[in-house]
Amino acid sequence: MSWSKLKQQLESFLSPALQGRVEYRAPGYRYLPDKSGICYISVDKKNVLNMSDKTNSIRWYQTELEIKNDPDIQIPITSDEIEAVRKDTKGPVPEDRLIVIARSRKSSEHAKELLSAQASLSKSNFIVVANKFLSTSVEDSMESHDILLNILALVDRRVGKKRILNLSDQMKLKHPIVQYFYELRRKTL
């Protein structure tokens, strides 16, 4: 599918409040057919997500430790996770220490997922991911670990007000760029 048709399809799925505000751009280079060029998403004519540039205003993580120490990421712990730690320790461990251990384990897993998603985003071809978004359901895109699929689903008109408002807890665990687009969509409701 040509870029102009793909862009037209993606923009037809934009939420009415975001039409004209969110733009998809992927300029190609005529003399470099093997290069995908730069791809970015702009909001209000400002480049917010540039797939090839990590110096934009959204925070990009370099290490697991940065993710663990980020105060914006709040990781909820369930009683099942605390029970799993209690079984693993096989001894008398204070309850507050069990919570710390469970949170540490979960934040390590979360950090690895975020770094993996971030790495795949920088290498991804926007056109391939956009085609995948158009061929899968919005629910699958929303639950995916792919940052770009999450963004495309969040700005989609098929995701209603109630669904957006119910995603607030789930968004705390997502990459800052996904949180940015969530807040953008939430403010337009």
Side chain identity, residue 181: F
Average pLDDT on 134-141 reads 94
User: Does 128 share its domain with 182?
Assistant: yes
Render pLDDT for 94-122 as a digit per residue (tens, 0 to 9): 989 999 899 899 888 888 888 877 776 65
DSSP 44-95: TTEEEEETT-S-SSS----SHHHHHH-TT------HHHHHHHHHHH-S---H
User: Does 22 share its domain with 39?
Assistant: yes
Give the alpha-carbon dihedral of 63, 66, 72, 77, to 10 degrees: 80
User: What is the reported pLDDT for 48?
Assistant: 85
User: What is the reported pLDDT for 80?
Assistant: 93
User: Does 77 share its domain with 111?
Assistant: yes
- State whether residue 162 is helix, strand or coil: helix
Cβ-count burial 111-147 (b if 16+ within 10 Å, e if not): beebbebbeebeebebbebbebbeeeebeebbebebb
User: What is the reported pLDDT for 152?
Assistant: 94
For residue 154, is pLDDT > 90? yes
Instruction: Tell me how many domains the chain contains.
Output: 2
Average pLDDT on 53-79 reads 76
User: Does 129 share its domain with 111?
Assistant: no
User: Does 69 share its domain with 104?
Assistant: yes
Closest CA to 158 of 28, 14, 52: 14
Quote the CA–CA distance of 102 and 79 in Å, as a whole number: 10
Render pLDDT for 46-57 as a digit per residue (tens, 0 to 9): 888 876 555 555
Phi, psi of 38 (to 5 degrees): -95, 150
User: Does 53 share its domain with 9?
Assistant: yes
**Range of weakest confidence among 25-39, 44-58, 71-85, 130-144:** 25-39
User: Does 56 share its domain with 130?
Assistant: yes
User: What is the reported pLDDT for 137?
Assistant: 94
For residue 29, is pLDDT > 60? no
User: Does 183 share its domain with 128?
Assistant: yes
Q: What percent of the chain has pLDDT over 70?
A: 85
Domain that holds residue 92: 64-115
User: What is the reported pLDDT for 44?
Assistant: 93
User: Does 163 share its domain with 74?
Assistant: no
User: Does 69 share its domain with 48?
Assistant: no
Q: Are strands 22-25 and 46-50 parallel, antiparallel or unpaired?
A: unpaired
Could you tell me the sign of the dihedral formed by the alpha carbons of 177, 75, 146, 155, in that order?
negative
User: Does 41 share its domain with 70?
Assistant: no
pLDDT band at 35, cuts 50/70/90?
Answer: low
User: What is the reported pLDDT for 62?
Assistant: 80
User: Does 132 share its domain with 180?
Assistant: yes
